[in-house]
Chain A
Amino acid sequence: MALVLGEDQQLLKDSAKSFCEQIAPVSLLRKLRDSKDELGYDQAVWTQMIELGWAGMAVPESYGGFDFGHGGLGVVLEETGRTLLSSPLISTVLIGATAILELGNETQKQQLLPQIVAGELLTALALDEHTTHRPSRVATTATKVEGGYSLRGSKTFVLDGHIANKLITVARTSGETVSEQGLSVFLVDAAAEGVSIQRTIMVDSRNSSNVQFSDVVVPSEALLGDLDGAFKSLSKVLDIARIGVAAEMLGSMQAVFESILVYLKQREQFGVLIGSFQGLQHRAAEMYSEIELCKSVVRAALSALDDPEKSSQEIAVIASMAKAKLSEVFFLVSNEGIQMHGGIGMTDEFDVGFYIKRARVAQQFLGDAAFHRDRYASLNGF
C-alpha cells in the first residue's frame, strides 16, 4: 500500500496545483455564481483540463486514456478541491467514465470512453430519488417495450444533470422499491423525448438538477451492465466515486486550514497575535491531526483502487471509511474556518464561506458520515 506519493504522482500534483491556482482560483467559481452562468462551469478552463489529459487519467490506454490510475485522478481532484474548481470532472470523469468501465460492454467502452477523454461527451448519474442517499431505494421503473425499455420516474440531486449529454440512469426492472435485486442502469440521451431536466441552484454554486422521466423510450443497447443485476457493479462505481470525492474534500479542507493558519499569524487582538492563544492553538493542532489522518485514509483508499488484488468488499470498506472520515473532518474544519476568522469569515467577500457551503454538499453527496459508518459496520459484520 503506497501511503506516500510516487515521483510521477507528485509531479502531476504539482502541475495540477499550479494550474488551479493560476487558471481556476476560487474567484472563478465566484464569477460563475455572480454572473448566474448558464453552464455553471467555464468551458475554456474545461477545454484546458481536457488538453492536460485529466479526462483520461484513470481510463486505460486501450480506450484512448492515459492509464494513470485512480491515484493520478485522485491527486488532481485534491488540487481541484483546493480551489473549489467547478467542472464536469466529477460527473463525467470520476463517475461517468468509471460507470462505463465497470458496467459497459466492449462496444460501449470503445464508443464512449474515447469521447469522454476527448471532452466530447458529458454525463450525469441519475440515482437518488429522496433527500438522503440510499442507492437501493429506486422507484423509477424501466419496463420492457418493443425494441427497448420505457423509463418512468423522477430523480433528484443529479450532479451536472443540465449540462450532460447522457444521463446514467438507475431504474428498477424488477423487485421491491428498496431491494438491491432488480436494478438496471440505462444510458439515456438528455435530449430524448420525455426527459425533463430542471436545474437546481445549490448553496455550493455547483450544478445540480432534478430530472423527470415521463415514459422515455430507450433502445435495448442503452442498457449498461446486467439487466436486474446492476447493483454490485453500481456499488463499485459509487465506491470509486466516494473515494474521489474524499480526495477532493481533502484538498478543500487543507485550503481552509492554511487560510486559518495565515490568519492566526497575522490578526492581532489585545496587542498580540491571536495565534498565541492556547484556546485557538489547541483547536488548530487537533485539526492538523485530523487532516493528517484524512491524508493517510485518502492515500490508502486511492492505492487500494489501483491494486488489482483488492476485492470489492475491501474497496467498499475503505470507501466508506474515507467518505465517513473526510465528511466529519471537512465539517469540523469548515466550521472552524468561519469561527477562527471571526467576522471576516462571515462576509461573502472572503472565500472561506464558499468552503463551508461546498462542505455540506460534498458531505451529503453519495452518503453522509452516518450513512457510511452504518455501512462500514454492516460490511464488518456488526
Chain B
Amino acid sequence: MQSLQDFREETRSWLEQNCPDSMRTAMVQEEVVWGGRNAEFTNPDSKIWLERLAQKGWTCPTWPAEYGGGGLDKDQAIILREELVRINARPGLTSFGISMLGPVLLEYGSHEQKLEHIPKIVRGEIRWCQGYSEPGSGSDLASLATKAELQGDTYLINGSKVWTSYADKADWIFCLVRTDFEVPKHSGISFILFDMASEGISTKPIQLISGSSPFCETFFDDVKVPASNLVGRLNEGWTIAKRLLQHERTMISGFGLSSGQSDNGGTTSTISSLEGTAMSYRGDSAKLSDPVLRDQIAQFKIDSDAFAYTSTRSIEESKQGQGPNATSSMLKNYGCELNKRRYELMLQAIGSQGLGWEGEGFNDEELQLTREWLRSKANSIEGGTSEVQLNVIAKRVLGLPDILSMAQK
C-alpha cells in the first residue's frame, strides 16, 4: 500500500502542475463556481481547475471511486486538504450536491440513484437546490404540507417551498414532501429528487435586507415525478432529512472559520484582519487606541481560535465514528454566532465607512462589508435557527427531557 508520505509528495507535485496560478488566490464572490447545466465561469481558469479536480474525483475526495469520487481514506483526504491550503488553492466547486445531498444519497440511495446522480455532482454537471422550508413550516419543519400523491408509477406534487437557495439557478431539487397526512407528522414525510425543468415548477426570488436575492419561493403545480426518484423508503424521509441537516450544519459551522476552503454562505469578506482594519481606520500604529474594542476583538479572536480547535477535534474524534453527529448542532450554533460577532466588530472597526449602501464615497470592500454584515444575520436562521440547535443539543447531547413531547401528543 502506498505510504502517506508518498501520497503527499504525489499530491503536491500534481497540484504544482495542475492548479492554475489564478486559482491560488483568495476566492472572490463573482468567481465562485457552482456548476450546473448553465455553469458560469467568469474566470476561464476556474473551468480548467474544476475539470482537472473532477477527473481525479477530488471535488469529493472521500466519495467512492465507483461513483466518480476520489476514493481517498480520511488520512489521505486530510493530506489533500493540507496541500490545497498550503498553496492557497480555491475550492474547484461549491455545491449543495457536495455539501448536503451527496453524503445522504451515498448513505440512503439505491445503487441506480447513486450511479445516476453522484458522478454528476462530482463533475459539477448538475446544480442542486434544497426544498425544505415552507411558508408555514420554518423551525417546525416536520409540519410541512407539500403533497406528493402516487398515481401509477408517478408522483403528483403540489405545494410550495420558501427560502430555496438559488432555486432559480438550480437544475434539480432534493425535496421533502408529505406522502401520508393520516399519521403523526414525522411519519408521513418522504425524500424525493426531481428535475427543476419539469412542467409545473415556478420560482420567484426574494429580495433580502442585504439587497441580494439568493433565496426563492418555489411553487409546484401538478409536477409529475417518477416514483423511482424517491430516496429510501416511503414515509421514512424524516430520517434522511435530519441526516442531511447535520451535513448542512457542518457546512454552515464553517462560516465561523475564516478559511478560504469553506463556502461561507455568500460571505467571502476580502477584509480579513479585524484588528489590522480597526487600527488602520484609526491611524493607530502600535496599539489599538479604543480599549473597549480592543478587548472585544481579543475576546472574539480567542473564541474564534477555540472554535477552530474544536472543529478540528470534532473531525479527529469522528475518525472512529460515523461522520457528523449531534455535535454538528453545537458547531453550527457557535460558528454562526461567531460569524455574526465578526461582522459586528468589523462594522465597529470601520465606523461610518462601513455603513455605505452604494455609490461614491466608499470603496468596493466597504460596500461589500455592509451587505455581508446584513447577510450574516441569516446564519443563525438558515439550516435550523440557533434556538433549534440549542434544543437539539439539550435533547440529543445532554439528554434533557423533550419539551415538545407534550405539544406533539
B310 touching A293, Cβ below 8 Å: yes
Contact with A along B268-302 (1 / 0, CB 8 A): 00000001101100000001100000110111011
Q: Is A285 engaged at the interface, CB distance under 8 Å to the other chain?
A: yes
Q: Is B387 engaged at the interface, CB distance under 8 Å to the other chain?
A: yes
CB distance from B356 to the nearest CB of A (A): 25
B307 touching A373, Cβ below 8 Å: no
A289 touching B306, Cβ below 8 Å: no
CB distance from B320 to the nearest CB of A (A): 9
Which stretch of B57-65, B85-93, B216-224, B394-402 is in the interface? B394-402
Q: Is B201 engaged at the interface, CB distance under 8 Å to the other chain?
A: no
B306 touching A382, Cβ below 8 Å: no
A281 touching B309, Cβ below 8 Å: no
Which stretch of A87-95, A171-179, A271-279 is in the interface? A271-279
B306 touching A293, Cβ below 8 Å: yes
Q: Is A378 engaged at the interface, CB distance under 8 Å to the other chain?
A: yes
Known contacts A4-B316, A276-B400; is-contact A382 B294 (Cβ 8 Å): yes
Known: A281-B395, A324-B298. 17 other contacts (CB 8 A): A1-B312, A276-B402, A276-B403, A282-B394, A284-B398, A285-B389, A288-B330, A289-B333, A293-B310, A294-B306, A295-B313, A296-B312, A296-B313, A299-B313, A324-B302, A377-B298, A382-B276
Residues of A within 8 A of B313 (CB): 3-4, 295-296, 299
CB distance from A350 to the nearest CB of B (A): 21
CB distance from B15 to the nearest CB of A (A): 24
Known contacts A299-B309, A325-B306, A377-B298; is-contact A278 B327 (Cβ 8 Å): no
How many residues from A make CB contacts under 8 Å with B? Answer: 39
Taking a contact as CB atoms closer than 8 A, the residue among A1, A261, A296, A300 that contacts B398 in the complex is: A261
Known contacts A281-B390, A281-B400, A296-B313; is-contact A289 B330 (Cβ 8 Å): yes
A380 touching B275, Cβ below 8 Å: yes
CB distance from A365 to the nearest CB of B (A): 19
Closest 8 CB pairs of A and B: A281-B394, A296-B309, A382-B275, A285-B393, A3-B313, A276-B401, A373-B298, A293-B306
B295 touching A325, Cβ below 8 Å: no
Residues of B within 8 A of A265 (CB): 399-401
A contact patch SS: helix
Residues of B within 8 A of A1 (CB): 309, 312
Q: Is B10 engaged at the interface, CB distance under 8 Å to the other chain?
A: no
Q: Is B16 engaged at the interface, CB distance under 8 Å to the other chain?
A: no
A-B contacts, 9 of them at CB < 8 A, read: A264-B400, A285-B391, A289-B333, A293-B309, A296-B312, A373-B299, A377-B295, A380-B275, A381-B275
A300 touching B403, Cβ below 8 Å: no
Instruction: Give residues 186-233 of A contacting B (CB, 8 Å).
Output: none
Residues of B within 8 A of A264 (CB): 400
Contact with A along B233-272 (1 / 0, CB 8 A): 0000000000000000000000000000000000000000
CB distance from A82 to the nearest CB of B (A): 18
Contact with A along B374-408 (1 / 0, CB 8 A): 00000000000001011101110111111100000
Instruction: Give residues 258-313 of A contacting B (CB, 8 Å).
Output: 261, 264-265, 272-273, 275-278, 281-282, 284-286, 288-289, 292-297, 299-300
Chain A CB count within 10 A is highest, among B298, B305, B334, for B298
B301 touching A380, Cβ below 8 Å: yes
Q: Name which residue of chain A comes closest to B401, CB basis.
A: A276
B330 touching A377, Cβ below 8 Å: no
Q: Is A370 engaged at the interface, CB distance under 8 Å to the other chain?
A: yes
A261 to B287, CA, bound (A): 43
B334 touching A284, Cβ below 8 Å: no
Residues of A within 8 A of B73 (CB): none
Known contacts A4-B317, A293-B306; is-contact A382 B403 (Cβ 8 Å): no
Instruction: Give residues 29-46 of B contacting A (CB, 8 Å).
Output: none
A275 touching B400, Cβ below 8 Å: yes
Q: Is A321 engaged at the interface, CB distance under 8 Å to the other chain?
A: yes
CB distance from B166 to the nearest CB of A (A): 30
Q: Name which residue of chain B comes closest to A292, CB basis.
A: B310
Instruction: Give residues 345-382 of B contacting A (CB, 8 Å).
Output: none
CB distance from B145 to the nearest CB of A (A): 25
Q: Is B75 engaged at the interface, CB distance under 8 Å to the other chain?
A: no
> B interface vs A, CB < 8 Å?
275-276, 278-279, 287-288, 294-295, 297-299, 301-303, 305-307, 309-310, 312-313, 316-317, 327, 330, 333-334, 387, 389-391, 393-395, 397-403
Q: Is A19 engaged at the interface, CB distance under 8 Å to the other chain?
A: no
Residues of B within 8 A of A381 (CB): 275
Residues of B within 8 A of A378 (CB): 287
Q: Is A374 engaged at the interface, CB distance under 8 Å to the other chain?
A: yes
Taking a contact as CB atoms closer than 8 A, the residue among A276, A289, A374 that contacts B334 in the complex is: A289
B306 touching A321, Cβ below 8 Å: yes
Residues of B within 8 A of A66 (CB): none
Residues of A within 8 A of B389 (CB): 285
CB distance from A238 to the nearest CB of B (A): 18
A1 to B309, CA, bound (A): 10
A325 to B310, CA, bound (A): 13
CB distance from B409 to the nearest CB of A (A): 13
Contact with B along A352-382 (1 / 0, CB 8 A): 0000000000000000001001101110111
Residues of A within 8 A of B327 (CB): 292
Residues of A within 8 A of B387 (CB): 282
Contact with B along A326-353 (1 / 0, CB 8 A): 0000000000000000000000000000
B398 touching A285, Cβ below 8 Å: yes
B302 touching A325, Cβ below 8 Å: yes
B287 touching A382, Cβ below 8 Å: yes
CB distance from B314 to the nearest CB of A (A): 9
Residues of A within 8 A of B297 (CB): 377, 382
Residues of A within 8 A of B316 (CB): 3-4
B303 touching A293, Cβ below 8 Å: yes
Q: Name which residue of chain B comes closest to A293, CB basis.
A: B306
CB distance from B84 to the nearest CB of A (A): 19
A284 touching B394, Cβ below 8 Å: yes
Residues of B within 8 A of A370 (CB): 295
Taking a contact as CB atoms closer than 8 A, the residue among B287, B294, B302 that contacts A321 in the complex is: B302
Residues of A within 8 A of B397 (CB): 285, 288
Q: Name which residue of chain A comes closest to B313, CB basis.
A: A3
Residues of B within 8 A of A296 (CB): 306, 309-310, 312-313
Q: Name which residue of chain A comes closest to B294, CB basis.
A: A377
Residues of B within 8 A of A297 (CB): 305-306, 309
Q: Name which residue of chain A comes closest to B302, CB basis.
A: A321
Residues of B within 8 A of A282 (CB): 387, 390-391, 394
B403 touching A281, Cβ below 8 Å: yes
Taking a contact as CB atoms closer than 8 A, the residue among A281, A324, A325 that contacts B391 in the complex is: A281
CB distance from A228 to the nearest CB of B (A): 26
Residues of B within 8 A of A321 (CB): 302, 305-306
Q: Name which residue of chain A comes closest to B387, CB basis.
A: A282
Chain B CB count within 10 A is highest, among A276, A285, A324, A325, for A285
Residues of B within 8 A of A295 (CB): 310, 313
A376 to B275, CA, bound (A): 12
Taking a contact as CB atoms closer than 8 A, the residue among A4, A277, A299, A380 that contacts B403 in the complex is: A277
